[in-house]
Homo-oligomer: A and B are copies of this chain.
Amino acid sequence: MNGAPTTKAGSVKSSSFFADFINTLLERTPWMDTSTAGKPTTEMCEALFTGRGEISGIRTASTILARYEQMDPSEQADFFQYLTEKLDVDAQAVQSAAKAYADHPDGQRLEALYRVAEPRRQELLRRLNQAPGATGRLVRMRLDLLNLMKAHPQFARADLDFVHLFKSWFNRGFLVLRHIDWRTPANILEKIIEYEAVHAINSWDELRRRLLPPDRRCFAFFHPAMPDEPLIFVEVALVNGIPGSIQSLLAETRPHLDPNKADTAVFYSISNCQEGLRGISFGNSLIKQVVEELSSELPHLKNFVTLSPIPGLARWMEQRSQDGDELAARVLAASRDKPEKLEPLRIELRQLAAHYLVDQKRDDGLPLDAVARFHLGNGALVHEVHAMADSSPNGMRQSCGAMVNYLYDLRTVEQNHEEFLMGRTVASSRDIKALARSASAAKGKKTNA
């Protein structure tokens, strides 16, 4: 009676406009251009350049991508070698064109300079992107490239062009924020399970507990050309008061809170999903936008904080312990023995953590801790540290069970951000400052001894 069209039209899939579109393309058309069976892939790339119109372009692009996807790593390396060497910038030509433009800076000479200054592989990637589903496929291609770069450092030259294009394509202005909940299509939820990098989701039941209760939220950024692929997502708990333990936050049996009665939104997990987009960052705008989103939905919310791991703490304490800090040694030892032994050392662990976060820097003046760099760079401040906050094996291992709240205060976030970037200043609460001082004083004393 009614064919595929009906079910598609307005079916449960109606949200994935672009996906359907692309899938349909993929399904219908014999994209593997069989007439080119004998041609080397590099020759087809050249054909893609010359075919000025798009008449055959989409077909050629599809064939190249499909072939690429069947390559083994050594063939991939050949392909990337081709990109790196054959499609590179002609540096001599750039020199001449730059000189010509320096002498006569007009539009024509600038255009000539642009033409030679951009390596041909950029144009190749743009043309490959015409193929159905190409954007996601190019992201996966770059992941291969990143893996091969270890053995082939020269591929870094080709990688520059992936990065250049991805920065244009995945510009913040093109990303779309979507609410992830228990009514989200299963194929997307499946990816949330897969990509969760902070506190693993072990089953669909566990996922359900993070999405369905009224006091839970999840948001993700998507790109219209990859509508079924989240780029980054954040999980949020709505609570009363700033929480100090991930276990109680995620407890299976906790009572649910009426979201209108919550005063605090906790960002307890932020995960990047696409390794092929490494270096193209979305995290700061995601948090910022989710804060505005939640503020508008739930005007009673007063605090926006994270409950974050301190991934480098134990490693740093280890170092310090080797340098003779007995306190650090004692805490480390306790954490490796039994959690209960940490109980009497709570305050000491918190002092160490505060000191580590606020005072320990890399050579470039930025904090040692990677998560701290991220949130402080966004304009957050170090609000509080907690002992016994993550008693999972991983939590004990990386930070002796300590966790930290970074606070996003919209009134100070821009100033914090600027002072952090300009003066490497780490914003922190009065409590944290006091804790950090105690630790450094303690250290000072000991060193003097």
Contacts and interface: CB of A to CB of B under 8 A. Distances in A.
A200 interface: no
A288 interface: yes
Contacts of A3: 5, 24, 28, 179, 217, 293-294, 296-298
Interface centre among A9, A17, A159, A414 (most CB of B within 10 A): A9
A7 B225 contact: no
Interface in A199-234: 204, 208, 214, 217, 219, 224-225, 228
A414 B1 CA distance: 16
A413 B139 CA distance: 32
Interface centre among A5, A10, A101, A180 (most CB of B within 10 A): A5
B160 A7 contact: no
A184 B94 CA distance: 49
A9 B28 contact: no
Interface residues of A, number: 116
A21 B156 contact: no
A134 B11 CA distance: 21
Contacts of A130: 171-173, 285
B25 A179 contact: no
B417 A53 contact: yes
B285 A58 contact: yes
Contact of A102 (B29, B95, B102, B153): B95
B18 A1 contact: no
A8 B179 contact: yes
B173 A129 contact: yes
B54 A288 contact: yes
Interface string A372-406: 00000111000000000000000000000000000
A228 B102 CA distance: 43
A55 interface: yes
A20 B8 contact: yes
B172 A58 contact: yes
Contact of A91 (B98, B131, B168): B98
B9 A24 contact: yes
Given A160-B107, A285-B58, A8 B2 contact: no
A183 B29 CA distance: 22
Interface in A236-286: 259, 284-285
A184 to B, nearest CB: 5
A69 B258 CA distance: 20
14 contacts: A1-B28, A2-B179, A2-B181, A3-B5, A5-B293, A5-B296, A9-B14, A53-B378, A54-B285, A88-B105, A131-B173, A168-B169, A183-B228, A186-B208
User: Which 9 pairs, one residue from A and one from B, show the smallest C-beta to C-beta distance?
Assistant: A8-B8, A10-B17, A3-B296, A107-B156, A1-B292, A91-B102, A7-B179, A224-B224, A8-B9
Given A53-B377, A54-B288, A57-B172, 20 more contacts: A3-B297, A5-B297, A8-B8, A10-B14, A10-B21, A11-B17, A12-B181, A13-B184, A53-B284, A53-B417, A55-B284, A55-B288, A56-B418, A106-B156, A110-B160, A111-B160, A182-B187, A183-B187, A186-B186, A224-B224
